[in-house]
Amino acid sequence: MGFVCTAARFRTEPVCVKIHWQSGCKLDKRYALSSWSGMKGQCTNIIQKRDVMGNSLSCFKAYDIRGRVPGVLNAPLARALGRAVVEILGAKSVVIGRDARLSGPELRDALALGLHEAGAQVTDIGMCGTEEIYYAAANQPFGAGVMITGSHNPADENGFKLVRGGAIPISGDSGLFALRDRVEAILAESGETAGSLDVSPLQHASFRADYVAWLLEYSGAGQLAPVAGRKPLKIVGDAGNGCAGLVLNDLMAALPFEFVCRQMQPDGTFPDGVPNPLLPERRAATAAAVRESGADMGVAWDGDFDRCFFYDADGNFIEGYYCIGLLAQELLRRVPGGKVVHDTRVYWNTREVVQAAGGQPVMGKTGHAFMKERMRAEDAVYGGEMSAHHYFRDFAYCDSGMLPWLLVASLLHRTGKPLAALVAERMAAYPCSGEINRRVQDAPALMRQVRDRYAPSALHEDSMDGVNLEFTDWRFNLRMSNTEPLLRLNVESRGNSVLMEEKTAEILRFLDEQGGAVPA
């Protein structure tokens, strides 16, 4: 091992979380050693430091569990989570899956062992996307589903996304924090170490064929025939070495489109970089592939493909905001008069498009659990967040990264119009800033200052998801990050991109002057 016990240098609250010190682990600064065995230089007892919120397991976020492996997420935690899922959710049978990350198999084994120990039958669907767990939980009699995924984060991170039976989300208020407290207690009681893990009985299954068939049928893409005299739609698909390639391979055979594929092979080392299509270098690579191949559109997915991102034929990135309008139109064509839920950040375009298509727009709180809850309450046919999360009533109100592009590609195929033409008018009608993040010292105080400055001249104010202020020709939303000291700003205007840019710069300047904000 070769490191010196540094217990005396750390001051932590005495939360006894015993975690076996495995070969190759690096000391995570969020942990401190509580005892030193002196035997073979192994430290077997680690006290976990509480975070600023007083929570010892800070990997439990508002909607999921995330962290570095093995410092934050590791086998003992996964095993305890498995036991807690059965105890707290009462699940008798649980479906699990994982993304391409190298830490996936170890976390799966530990999770499965915990589930099994607590009395649940475990079904593993192997490497997959998060929505394949949703599909399984929605269509099979599972009491819960757990996806092991680090989504768009770097290779050394991982996480867990959980749903109840019927693919109903579990977030902080609806069980995730109860799970956290139980995991904490189990870890404190058990003294189990990673070294004592056995392989638990696992049942293997695959629902992919059914899921792919459903995607093709629901999107209508499976019934499309080639159009005489027109070249097939050419699509760049960039899977970024995440799991999207697994499903794309099965879809391609059934579609009348031509594909140019990038990084289709799942590879948890992510040799071409972090599986986050929003990173500038990733955007540039997808855009270049679209231009070089002369494609009609490009689609890129994150590591667990619950989000997809669009490019037009010139390689221009299409903001998620305008994709919501496109998809809302498509869904309302099928369900006339339906309701569409949108988030609070930017929505003027969505509301106008939905109303023009005879639908009813409904504002919902940002975040997948809130969106799904609101959609259920309203029986909404579709919900869209500008962050590229698209939710569908007929997909158990869950988000999918496959259905949106199949619907958009079908629309291009049917109309023969380029993607740029379909969104250009809407982009000009409601230009938006895109989400801009600022790292700040005191986010609540700055929010108040911004509100106090702009509210007196506003026509309308709403406090859902932060500060929402609306004026004659522009509006903005300023909100705090759930997990970081960040403020997130979104500005839009009515057909005036100069005004939108001016107001964006003005608010950012105000933040910088008041609170020493720095770009994040």
Binding site for Zn ion (CB under 5 A): 151, 302, 304, 306
Q: Nearest approach, Cβ of 124 to Zn ion (angstroms)? A: 20
Integer CA distances (angstroms), 155 to 68, 104, 306, in order: 9, 11, 17
Is 65:38 a contact under the CB 8 Å cutoff?
Answer: no
**Is 151 part of the annotated catalytic residue set?**
yes
How many whole angstroms separate alpha carbon 507 and alpha carbon 515? 12
Q: Nearest approach, Cβ of 99 to Zn ion (angstroms)? A: 9
Local structure of 378: helix, strand or coil:
helix
Residue 249: partners with Cβ closer than 8 Å, 6 or more residues away = 264
Q: What spatial distance separates the first Cα and last Cα of the chain, rounded to whole Å?
A: 37
Provide the residue type at 12 as one letter.
T
Q: Nearest approach, Cβ of 271 to Zn ion (angstroms)? A: 19
Beta strand 258-262 with 234-238: parallel, antiparallel or unpaired? parallel
Q: Nearest approach, Cβ of 239 to Zn ion (angstroms)? A: 13
Q: Nearest approach, Cβ of 152 to Zn ion (angstroms)? A: 5
Between 304 and 343, CB nearer to Zn ion? 304
Between 114 and 266, CB nearer to Zn ion? 266
Between 306 and 435, CB nearer to Zn ion? 306
For residues 215-240, one letter each, b for 16 or more C-beta atoms within 10 angstroms of the residue's C-beta and e for the rest, the string is bbebbbbbebeeeeeeeebbbbbbbb
Q: Nearest approach, Cβ of 306 to Zn ion (angstroms)? A: 4
Between 99 and 492, CB nearer to Zn ion? 99
Between 63 and 348, CB nearer to Zn ion? 63
Residue nearest to Zn ion (CB): 151
Q: Residue 425 corresponds to which tokens in the numbers above?
A: 């008018």
Integer CA distances (angstroms), 93 to 43, 245, 266, 379, in order: 36, 28, 28, 28
Between 108 and 426, CB nearer to Zn ion? 108
Between 159 and 431, CB nearer to Zn ion? 159
Beta strand 360-363 with 486-493: parallel, antiparallel or unpaired? unpaired
Closest Cα partner for 159 from 298, 272, 63? 63
Integer CA distances (angstroms), 302 to 96, 241, 456, in order: 19, 9, 41
Between 306 and 385, CB nearer to Zn ion? 306
DSSP 300-342: EE-TT-S-EEEE-TT-PEEPHHHHHHHHHHHHHHHSTT-EEEE
Between 275 and 338, CB nearer to Zn ion? 275
How many whole angstroms separate alpha carbon 41 and alpha carbon 43? 7
Strand-by-strand arrangement of the 436-439 sheet: 460-462, 467-470, 474-480, 486-493, 436-439, 518-519
Helix 75-89 × helix 104-117 angle, to 10°: 40
Residue 480: partners with Cβ closer than 8 Å, 6 or more residues away = 443, 444, 447, 466, 486, 487, 488
Q: Nearest approach, Cβ of 155 to Zn ion (angstroms)? A: 14
Peptide bond into 271 cis (omega under 30): no
| CA 464 to mean position of chain CA atoms | 21
Q: Nearest approach, Cβ of 53 to Zn ion (angstroms)? A: 24
For residues 183-195, one letter each, b for 16 or more C-beta atoms within 10 angstroms of the residue's C-beta and e for the rest, the string is bbebbeeeebbbe
- Catalytic, out of 56, 151, 171, 433: 151
Between 109 and 302, CB nearer to Zn ion? 302
Q: Nearest approach, Cβ of 102 to Zn ion (angstroms)? A: 18
Q: Nearest approach, Cβ of 470 to Zn ion (angstroms)? A: 31
For residues 36-56, one letter each, b for 16 or more C-beta atoms within 10 angstroms of the residue's C-beta and e for the rest, the string is beeeeeebbbbbbbeeeeeeb
How many whole angstroms separate alpha carbon 350 and alpha carbon 341? 9
Question: Rounded to the nearest 5 degrees, what angle is found at the Cα of 370, between the Cα atoms of 68 and 508?
Answer: 70
**Residues annotated as part of the active site:** 151
